[in-house]
Structures are given as C-alpha cells and as structure tokens.
Amino acid sequence: MYDTNISLCGIKLDNPIIPASGTFGFGEDFRQFYNLNILGSIALKGTTSERRFGNPTPRIADTPAGMLNSIGLQNPGIDAVILGELPKLKKYFKKPLIANISGFSVEEYAYCCGKIDREEQIGIIEVNISCPNVKYGGMSFGTNPEIAADVTRAVKAVTTKPVFIKLSPNVTDITQMALACQEAGADGICLINTLLGMRLDIKTRKPVLANIVGGFSGPAVLPVALRMVYQVYQTCNIPIMGCGGVSTAEEVIEMMMAGATAVQIGSMNLKNPYICKEIIENLPTVMNRLEINSLQEIIGAAHNCH
C-alpha cells in the first residue's frame, strides 16, 4: 500500500494533486467527468471584490508546448462566490478548498481575504500577487519585495487560516520575494504563476492577443517552475505548492523532490479534463517503480543528495 497523503499547514490531503486557480473554474464544469472528491483540494478561480468581465478577446492562444492567456481575472466577485459558488460546491465537494484572492490594492486584498476567511469550506487562502494580465495591481505587487510583504501583513492581520502567497516568476530573484513574504508572516508559498509571453499573427502583423502580452503556461515552463521551487525550498522554511507545466505523475514526484509539498495542475486541465484523475490514479504505480512508500518522505529529497 502506497501512502499518497500529505499534510499542508496541518490540513491533511489524500494526495498532493490540486487543480490550479483559473484552470478549473469553481469545479462545476469538471464534475461531469469524474468525482471531484478524489482530488487533494481545488484552488478556486481568482476572486476580486467586485465582478470583473476580464480583458477583451481574443485572449487565448496556442503555442508550441504551452498556451498563452490574458483572461484578466474574469470572476463574479467575492459576494457572488460566497453566496453562490461555495454553496453549490458544498453539494458535491466535501474537502477543504483553497480560495484564490486577487486585488488592485492592499486594502482590496485584505477586504476579500477577511471575508473568505470566515467561510467554513475554505481551508487555505492563496493570495495571487502575480497575475500578468491586468493593467494595474496583480503582478506589480509580486515583483516588489516590500509591497509583497505589505500585502502579506495586511492579509495575515485579518485572517485565521493558512495564507499562501502566489509569486510571479517574472522577477530577477525569486528567493528575495519568497523571503519577504515569509518574514511578513506567510504560512506558505505557491510557485509559479505564468511567465510573460506573446505571439504575432504574421498575416495581420499584429499580436494574437488583444492584450498584446499574456501569461505563458504549459509543459515548456516546468524547468523554470522546478528551478524556482528548488531555490525557495533552500531559502525558506514554509511549505510550497508547486505549479507550472506539470502533466504526469512522474513530474509530480519531481516537483515534490525539488521541495513542493503539494502540486497544482494548471493549463493541462484545459487540454485534458481528466488529467488530474489520471495523475492521481497513476501515482501509486510510479511510487512502486521508484520504491517510494510515502510521498511525505520525498518532499525536498533532491536537497539531500549533495
């Protein structure tokens, strides 16, 4: 029997697999494919204080080994999530959820986190200071250590649940950002959000995305995500949720060996709605092949080999 259980800030998950925010909505569209309760948890769609319609279209583009998106935080707003989405989810998902909160000011982050913290279904609050697809706020918070620390302190002052800060890879030194958040009281770090990218339409000679640039995700970003998880694990002593380019059970193991306690699956959900189910089902087989009895034991294992 292979033990896939992990503990994330005292919350026990049956396995480390979590659909990443923005790739799974609020779960409704995916419940037709499989029982969502096989998942470790679900990171809900990024939520702001007010309803947002997002960026103009086109805002999705395919690219080799990945995709570009510039959705722009389209969401129904914090009140609609609390009053509408959470009660719906409660009917078919029985595990603690991860709320993903975005904002355009420190005050907005604090306001939304304070509200969602009171919801029984929420186990962890993921604070997204790294969205590259909005003109103000978002990633600007995630590229300055002082501002990232300000957001972290403001959120921690109004919450009781574990707070993970989701960081941008579009920085010179990811460890500086992670340390700033840890010192400001963060309970964990989520790495990474999307890289900045673009494509051109050579017929029209114009950018493919209406927003010009977008977030680049998919298999091509895995080596970048792994490198950053590895570096932050070396530098910080709070848990990491790894995210970026993961699409197989083997890559989940790799991400955990680099230092991740849990692993989020992102854009592959959009290409294969069964991807999380397939990874969860394949994990014991891969563990058997690699002679791993417990996933909890391999967290950061790559750091013990020097």
pLDDT at residue 73 greater than cutoff 50 = yes
**Domains, the chain, with CATH or none:** 6-56+72-195+219-304 (3.20.20.70)
Span 209-233, average pLDDT:
97
What is the rounded average pLDDT for all residues in the chain? 95
Q: H-helix or E-strand containing 269?
A: helix 268-271
Distance CA 183, CA 267 (A): 31
* Nearest-angstrom CA–CA distance, 164 and 96: 15
Q: Where are the beta strands (DSSP E) in the chain?
A: 6-8, 11-13, 17-19, 60-63, 66-69, 97-101, 122-128, 163-166, 188-191, 195-197, 200-201, 206-207, 214-217, 240-243, 262-265
Name the 3-class secondary structure at 243.
strand
Count H helices and E strands in the chain, helices first.
9, 15
CA angle, residues 64, 229, 48, in degrees to nearest 5? 75
Res 234: pLDDT: 98
User: What's residue 1's pLDDT?
Assistant: 78
Clarify whether 131 is annotated catalytic: yes
Residue 3: predicted pLDDT:
97
Asked if residues 85 and 240 have their Cβ atoms less than 8 Å apart, the reply is no
Q: Residue 301 in 3-state DSSP?
A: helix
CB neighbour burial string for 170-204, b if at least 16 within 10 angstroms, e if fewer = bbeebeebbbbbbebbbbbbbbbbbbebbeeeeee
CA 220 to chain centre: 17
**Residue-level pLDDT at 78:** 98
Helix 249-258 to helix 275-289 angle (10° resolution) is 70
Q: Which of 131, 190, 243, 276 is catalytic?
A: 131
Q: How confident is the model at residue 139, as a pLDDT?
A: 55
Residue 201 has pLDDT above 70, yes or no: yes
Q: What is the pLDDT of residue 130?
A: 75
Residue 97: strand, helix, or coil: strand
Give the max Cα distance, the chain. 57
pLDDT at residue 251 tops 60: yes
226 bridge partner residues: none
Q: Count of CB atoms within 10 A of residue 290's CB? A: 11
Q: What percent of the chain has pLDDT over 90?
A: 92
One-letter amino acid at 15 equals N
